[in-house]
């Protein structure tokens, strides 16, 4: 972890490190709100915490710069909480374990929180600096951006004094963007109609792991694998070839994260059990070939499982499989006016069995205002 604090600019990476040590999943920002409040007050700056937990820190202009336009640096203090299945990580209690991997800072089996921790850290470094000449500055740190932007929506009118707002939640160093996107959540539910287990079957668990995942907006054009789509492609084909029965499915976790892991328990004909490993190996090879460039780390493993008490009814399994397997996922439309800009996309984010109800989530993103690069650092 000390390697991160040795990166340049050190002030930015020091503050980012401090943010990684504070649990801050969306809807649970109390600790990081208190941290930001203390940060501003320790600097002797005017610090405001509003009724929902947004933090505003004001820094007066450098002497001689009082007539400059005020600038608001805005970032969000929550993060997307997603961990690999082999990580026992409590995002409401545990810090993020980050490290330097070549040219990248990454996290050990969890999301890193650089969205938008690095933007917040950059704003903190400016607020704390003593050698940067500037006009009036405000740091605006909002909550709950990732699951509804409720912090931004709850911001009181006229509370900000600045004339120019810089959103620190960008992606590429040295570039400024003007743009906006809107998202729609689609949740679809099925009554599982659980039924008795038939005779002469064996239970297995299939695991889809090793995918890169990523943000459902930023990374969707990279054509990375979607664990849910891969899982139900297997279910569709294996049911066609062997007549398997689903008993459980747990795929993905967050609407705005491309699912990188998915798991299912299924019943397989006992008299065909000797063919399963080879069948899965061939399926894995096919998926690995398709994703060789975009997502080469995909792994598909099948293993023995404890016999469940019930299974999903055949009719529900058929409808769910067809719905998920056939559901659009990825880029739907590219902009005709700006090369490389995704205009519309979907992310088949979550598929789960909860007690007796199956549900899956599709996150639909529509670019409302075309994104445009307006400045490139020379």
In angstroms, rounded to a whole number, what is the distance separating the alpha carbons of residues 111 and 116? 12
Provide the 10 A C-beta neighbour count for residue 178: 11
97-105: long-range contacts (C-beta < 8 A, 24 or more apart)?
A: 97/1, 98/1, 98/4, 98/17, 98/20, 99/1, 99/3, 99/4, 100/3, 100/4, 100/7, 105/4, 105/7
Nearest residue to 361 via CA among 219, 250, 270, 271: 250
Q: Quote the CA–CA distance of 64 and 237 in Å, as a whole number.
A: 71
Helices (H) and strands (E) in the chain, counts: 8, 17
DSSP state at residue 215: B
- What phi, psi does 236 have (nearest 5°)? -60, -50
As a residue count, the chain comes to 378
**CA-to-CA separations, 213 to 15, 51, 101, 186, 339, in angstroms, rounded:** 26, 35, 18, 20, 24
The residues that are catalytic are 78, 145
280, β-bridge pairs: none
Q: Which long-range contacts (CB under 8 A, 24 or more apart) does 172-178 make?
A: 173/377, 174/376, 174/377, 175/373, 175/375, 175/376, 175/377, 176/373, 176/374, 176/375, 177/371, 177/372, 177/373, 177/374, 178/369, 178/371, 178/372, 178/374
d(CA 252, CA 55): 32
């Amino acid at each position: 972890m000390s390697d991160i604090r040795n990166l340049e600019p050190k002030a930015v990476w020091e503050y980012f490190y401090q943010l990684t040590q504070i649990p801050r999943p969306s809807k649970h920002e109390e600790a990081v709100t208190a941290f930001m409040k203390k940060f501003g007050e320790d600097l002797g700056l005017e610090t405001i915490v509003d009724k929902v937990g947004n933090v505003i820190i004001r820094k007066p202009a450098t002497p001689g710069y009082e007539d400059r336009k005020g600038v608001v640096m805005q970032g969000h203090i929550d993060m997307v909480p997603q961990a690999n299945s082999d990580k026992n990580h409590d995002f409401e209690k545990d810090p993020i374990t980050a490290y330097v991997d070549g040219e990248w800072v990454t996290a050990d089996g969890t999301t890193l929180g650089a969205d938008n921790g690095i933007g917040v850290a950059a704003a903190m470094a400016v607020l704390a600096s003593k050698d940067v000449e500037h006009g009036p500055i405000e740091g605006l740190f909002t909550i709950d951006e990732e699951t509804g932007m409720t912090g931004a929506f709850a911001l009181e009118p006229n509370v900000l004094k600045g004339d120019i707002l810089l959103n620190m939640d960008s992606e590429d160093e040295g570039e400024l963007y003007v743009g906006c996107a809107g998202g729609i959540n689609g949740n679809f539910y099925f009554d599982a109609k659980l039924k008795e287990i038939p005779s002469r079957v064996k239970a297995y668990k299939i695991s889809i792991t090793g995918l890169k995942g990523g943000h459902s907006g930023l990374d969707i054009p990279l054509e990375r694998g979607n664990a849910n789509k891969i899982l139900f492609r297997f279910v569709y084909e294996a049911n066609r070839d062997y007549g398997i029965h689903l008993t459980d499915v747990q795929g993905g976790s967050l609407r705005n994260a491309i699912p990188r892991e998915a798991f299912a328990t299924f019943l397989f004909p006992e008299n065909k059990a000797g063919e399963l490993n080879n069948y899965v190996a061939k399926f894995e090879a096919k998926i690995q070939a398709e994703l060789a460039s975009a997502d080469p780390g995909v792994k598909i493993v099948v293993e023995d499982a404890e016999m469940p008490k019930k299974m999903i009814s055949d009719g529900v399994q058929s409808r769910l499989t067809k719905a998920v397997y056939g559901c659009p996922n990825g880029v739907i439309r590219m902009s005709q006016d700006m090369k490389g800009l995704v205009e519309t996309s979907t992310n088949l984010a979550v598929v789960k069995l909860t007690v007796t109800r199956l549900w899956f989530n599709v996150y639909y993103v529509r670019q409302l205002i075309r994104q445009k690069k307006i400045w490139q650092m020379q």
